[in-house]
C-alpha cells in the first residue's frame, strides 16, 4: 500500500492467544489536528469493539476480542486515544 502526500501508512499487528499473528495496513490522514483526532477516535472505537471488524478490499475480517492477546500499532499516531499512558519504554528482561 502506498500513501499519498497527505496520508501515512499505519501498520496494525494482531497477536492471537494461539501464538499466531496477522498484519494489516491502512492509510491515515496526515496533517491537521482534526484529522489526527479522527484517527485517534477510529483507533479507540476499533480497540473497544467486540468483535473487531476490519474491511479489506475483498472481504470483512471479524475477530473476536477474546482471541486477541495484544495489538501493535506503528508508527504511533500523533493524537492518541484517551487513557493512553505515554511516553513509555519497553524493557527486555
- d(CA 10, CA 77) in angstroms, rounded, equals 8
| pLDDT at residue 59 in the model | 96
For cell 489526527, what's the residue?
36
**The domain that contains 38 carries what CATH number?**
2.30.30
Task: Spell out the alpha helix ranges (H) of 1-93.
Answer: 33-48
Higher pLDDT, residue 18 or 90:
18
Question: Where is 61: in which H helix or E strand?
Answer: strand 60-63
List, for residues 29-77, the tens digit of each pLDDT value: 665 555 555 666 777 787 788 899 999 999 999 999 999 999 998 888 7
Task: Give the three cell numbers for residue 42.
Answer: 477510529
* Angle at 91 (CA atoms; ends 86, 77), nearest 5 degrees: 30
Instruction: Confirm whether 38 is domain-assigned.
Output: yes
Q: Which domain holds residue 40?
A: 7-74
Total structural domains within the chain: 1
Amino acid at each position: 500500500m502506498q500513501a499519498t502526500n497527505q496520508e501515512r501508512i499505519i501498520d496494525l499487528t494482531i497477536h492471537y492467544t494461539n501464538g499466531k499473528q496477522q498484519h494489516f495496513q491502512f492509510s491515515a490522514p496526515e496533517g491537521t489536528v482534526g484529522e489526527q483526532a479522527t484517527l485517534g477516535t477510529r483507533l479507540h472505537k476499533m480497540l473497544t469493539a467486540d468483535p473487531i471488524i476490519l474491511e479489506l478490499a475483498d472481504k470483512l475480517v471479524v475477530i473476536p476480542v477474546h482471541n486477541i492477546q495484544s495489538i501493535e500499532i506503528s508508527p504511533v499516531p500523533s493524537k492518541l486515544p484517551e487513557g493512553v499512558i505515554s511516553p513509555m519504554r519497553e524493557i527486555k528482561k
